[in-house]
Amino acid sequence: MSLKAETLKDIYRNFAHEKYLTKETKEFYVNLYDRDLRRFVTALRDNQIPSHSFFIAGQSGNGKSSVLNLLTTNYPKLEEIYIFKYIAGREVFLYEDIDIVDILLMIGYKLTQNSQTLQNKYFEKLQKLKDIKTGVLIESSYTSTKETDGINTKGYIGLGAKFFNIFKIGGDFEATYKINEEIRKDARKFFKLNKNSLIELINSIILDYKIELETDKELLIVLDDLEKKEDIDELFTKELYLLDELKLIKIITMPLHLQRTQTFATKDIREFGLKLSDYDGNVYQSDRDLLKEVIDKRIANKNIITEEAIDKAIEFSGGNLRQLIKLVHFSAEEALSFDEKFISIKEMQYSIEKLEREYSSKVMIMKGFLNTIREQKGIISETKEDLEYLSKSTKMELIFAYFNGIIWYDINPVIAKSLDIYSKMR
């Protein structure tokens, strides 16, 4: 049975912007990034480096999660090469507080969570590592390293105790770790001193996993949503290199503004994005047509939304998929609230104004920077302050990033009117 909308209530449901596409909603999928995605899949298929990291860059809300979530559905032959494991940051980590130790521990947990035997091995190896580092156990396989040389083992006694107590009391490891700040802090203190040993341990779990499954396939971890955290730059620039030492393939979504920095100059970065116009302002019709297809794919009854309303939604989407979906969702809500029979330009205008109000206070505070972006399509100098503003305004969706050989920025079209008004104020 088709999920496509026949009524306004169906539109309201089908354009819920908080959700990404899954196998159950695959009929809504539009291949927005066909050529770039084909190149990425080819590189993934033919990759010969067992610890390679692929970074996915793109504006928040451009459908990266849906692309990754449906990767094996749309390209099933990849499952002949890889065993896919997905870690959705929004579900696993506390967004306000993510550390490389959290990521490493959760990779180990996700690999073992469907096998009690493997999970027991994982927890036993973690406990054994603690016993060795605290001097409770002497084991030749864990030799002294630069991490712990010169550190009195007595100083370790008690360190990590709260974290390791999870294994004694049982319960849901993932949920307990996520919600308990003291446990996270305790784990980080212990494993920061033993990062190399933790990586060695997880590599041993990767091997155990492949042995248990009796497979020659490579393991592939998708780390999604990390880039949406407010203060994530330090993790990406100073700590994420540790993942290169894990003997599995990684696909990692990354903050857009970091992709052209020196830190990522040698990384394998794939860019995904749409634009309504090119850098010189010429209409980019092919991407506009794709956005119209996104709407058409979710609606069966074409009489419940006018073409004018669709065109306005596309124009004010700024080429951002999530914003397009929000505009249709809010306009359906407006039509339902006042017993309208269909979505017209009137309801779509309400949606635009609703989003404008949501962004209003942020626009007022950042008007100087936003005007610079509007006039120059980027920042002149990469000062710390400008880079911080660029990061914040991109994540807040006040500005959108576009690719055309070069990367450039423009303000979200929804905020243009507010910015004009606030710019006249002294």
Q: In angstroms, what CA-CA distances link 354 with 106, 323, 350? A: 39, 12, 6
C-alpha 246/C-alpha 190 separation (Å) is 19
> Which residues are CB-neighbours of 201 under 8 A, at least 6 positions away?
108, 125, 126, 129
Give the domains, in start order, of the chain with CATH numbers.
53-271 (3.40.50), 277-423 (1.10.8.60)
Contact by Cβ (8 Å): 52, 249? yes
User: How high is the pLDDT of residue 417?
Assistant: 96
Structure-block tokens of residue 216: 């020659």
DSSP 338-358: TT-SSB-HHHHHHHHHHHHHH
> What one-character DSSP code corresponds to residue 399?
E
C-alpha 93/C-alpha 108 separation (Å) is 14
pLDDT digits (tens, 9 = 90+) for 19-42: 889 889 999 999 999 999 999 999
pLDDT below 70 — which residues of the chain? 95-96, 136-159, 260-263, 380, 382, 426
Q: For the purposes of burial, counting CB atoms within 10 Å of the CB of 167, is it exposed (0-12), middle (13-18) or buried (19 or more)?
A: middle
Query: Up-side HSE of residue 13: CA atoms within 13 Å toward CB?
Result: 10
Give the full edge-to-edge strand order of the sheet including 218-224: 82-88, 218-224, 249-254, 53-57, 268-271
C-alpha 251/C-alpha 266 separation (Å) is 16
Residue type, 401: A
State the greatest distance between any 2 C-alpha atoms of the chain, in Å, as a whole number: 75
User: How high is the pLDDT of residue 60?
Assistant: 86
Structure-block tokens of residue 418: 């507010």
* Cβ neighbours of 362 (radius 10 Å): 17
User: How high is the pLDDT of residue 158?
Assistant: 59
Contact by Cβ (8 Å): 130, 164? yes
User: How high is the pLDDT of residue 73?
Assistant: 94
Q: The whole model's pTM is what?
A: 0.89
pLDDT digits (tens, 9 = 90+) for 295-323: 999 999 999 999 999 999 999 999 999 99
